[in-house]
Structure 1
């Protein structure tokens, strides 16, 4: 069940302040004083991490999403077992699923729009800390998250190293590389050049910048998939007879050529996305992700993590070119340089970046054992650890797993 808390005046990293920061969140399980696990969601995810325990009086709350985004990992008897742990997931500031952000009400009673302060990953971390204080949660047993949620996890080890025993950054990196920065920049320009964006002031009766947001989402989908997964799911096949090119304008010559399955997939998912997400929020959150650099203000990743004395488990996936295996290896070396016990799992998978969402059987065993026993956990020790020099030569890869959604 979604709840909302006001954590009072909040000063963002940009220097701007809002009087009452509201945060939407969900909790699962019972808190015993030492069993809290914070789950950090990815870019366009929400606090609705699992269906387990979110029904009340027969009503269902999905935070605007079709389904819980990690339902196969979080819940009773699952890797993050809600019968053992008190799980908290918070919608990040700047998003559009209930926390303060561009579409939420500003001081004048109208949506903030682009008057909302710029947000950073560091702001997300500090906002989460404030909410946990409201909930009476001090030191966390663990912080877990994937993609930019994994950056959020890393930032906990940097900002609040004494407040968490174990961290699990999944499919993430200390910073984005230039190729990903470039794709995100194009995605934002697709939104801001949409005639309906109107400088970010499109709330009300007028049309939303759905075409720009749809194209931005399509670029994101391409980033999240691998060449192998796209070949398997789509190939060069033409879409079915009933498939239509109604979503975007087509040049006259286009009618001569096939409308391919990959195009149909991108169009369908893009339009579904525009029904649940806000264009301004997409601008804000991608900028926060692009801006994040673990070494900022410290000089190196190792220096940024030096105060963290807990344990870390890194998970990466071989076909993920958004956040690569090499980037996780570099993180493992940074943890080791500071003396933090660290394990690094490399999972053989052709799903690309989406693997952390669609392969719970890859994520679950090491995550479950790490939460219970740290790097001494059976699955953690059996399936791979980083070497002393961070080279990855001591890693043993987990087996290949079949897709949950075969194409």
Structure 2
């Protein structure tokens, strides 16, 4: 067990805990599962809030993680929401964020050391969202945290939060699912499959064995996968506003993505420049095998697996739920959130579905904190009775919509 106090004002505790022998949902075991976490605020016994990160996020939900060299989305990725006096107020709540198994920010995954002293690579066991939840439960047990005041998650972190309601229904009082769904639709499954093939067809991937100074990383494949991901996170309107058809020169960036000779005749557009820049930044901070593992975990998640329906899966949960969706998000749509809200209602669980009018796409849950913060803060404090929470369960009709447009923000994916 390793815990350190750091100078970051909002960050109370950062560490890696060895949970020992761990069996994954696949049936495979590893002798020592190490889990990295950060915690903020003071634990009083009943004020713990677990925040579940997105696909390539980290445990640094409100801290900067300077000691681990992380950058981009992995650094303080929701610091507009988590912190003193913010929506999840660290003056009031003890907030814990855990890096999930299979990732590459301190928790055991393909890039971490295996029993032979070498990186696991693709010998690391397959991971599922259930594996994330079980590892979080074990980590919280080691911190002395039992029942949680709330579990909050965005994107695939929302799936992680839903799994808590199914797997540990007595351990959660309030559940917040932001920009997420009960499962991915076929379009997103297909796009994730193409992203993974971009990685595995990169010759440098080498069957997942590319670690060490003698092996180049599969940067081109990972970069292409990330570019596809960015296109999934943005909406048509936000891309038109951000890039249009504007030219950034001619010929393209021949270093990372060589262009064919005829390309010099055509414009290298701003949207291409943006995607190339994002790919370059991402390959500096993330592991290609981890991207394969985590996207498969997201694709595999199905709330109703093992049950007759989503409602049946949620039936044992006795808390309250808030769903937040965004009109411009085609990755996880408002219709998917409303369907999920219906599942909660069918088993009598108090639920609110708060719909935000936004043209930022899936990115909105990160870049419009002034829209996410009020309903989230009120729900965590007061449940569905919160004044900023839109509760469609009261009339059974269409969800009300927050129609105030937020000012334009730069996407966190572009930082």
CA separation in 2, counterparts of 1:105 and 1:25? 18
- Of 379, 401, 405, the residue aligned with 1:400 is 405
Contact 2:251 2:268 survives alignment (8 Å): no
Structure 1 residues 112 and 376, CA, compared in 2 at 3 Å: closer, same or farther? same
Contact 1:40 1:143 survives alignment (8 Å): yes
TM-score, normalization: structure 2? 0.93
- Which residue pairs with 1:385 in the alignment? 391
CA separation in 2, counterparts of 1:393 and 1:358? 26
- Which residue pairs with 1:145 in the alignment? 153
| 1:6 and 2:18 correspond | yes
Contact 2:251 2:263 survives alignment (8 Å): no
**Residues 230-379 of structure 1 aligned to structure 2 (within 5 Å):** 230-239=239-248, 244-379=253-388
Count, aligned residues? 397
Tell me the C-alpha RMSD between the 2 structures.
Answer: 1.6
What is the deviation of 1:398? 4.4
Q: Deviations over 1:116-156 (max 9, x none)?
A: 00000000000000000000000000000100000000000
Q: Specify the SS of the correspondent of 1:379.
A: coil
- Of 128, 131, 135, the residue aligned with 1:120 is 128
CA separation in 2, counterparts of 1:248 and 1:40? 34
CA separation in 2, counterparts of 1:63 and 1:188? 25
What is the deviation of 1:404? 1.9
| 1:34 and 2:46 correspond | yes
TM-score, normalization: structure 1? 0.95
Deviates more, 1:349-358 or 1:6-15: 6-15
Q: Specify the SS of the correspondent of 1:196.
A: helix
CA separation in 1, counterparts of 2:58 and 2:307? 30
- Which residue pairs with 1:65 in the alignment? 71
CA separation in 2, counterparts of 1:254 and 1:79? 48
CA separation in 1, counterparts of 2:374 and 2:69? 28
CA separation in 1, counterparts of 2:38 and 2:50? 10
- Of 74, 85, 101, the residue aligned with 2:82 is 74
CA separation in 1, counterparts of 2:148 and 2:403? 28
- Which residue pairs with 1:43 in the alignment? 55
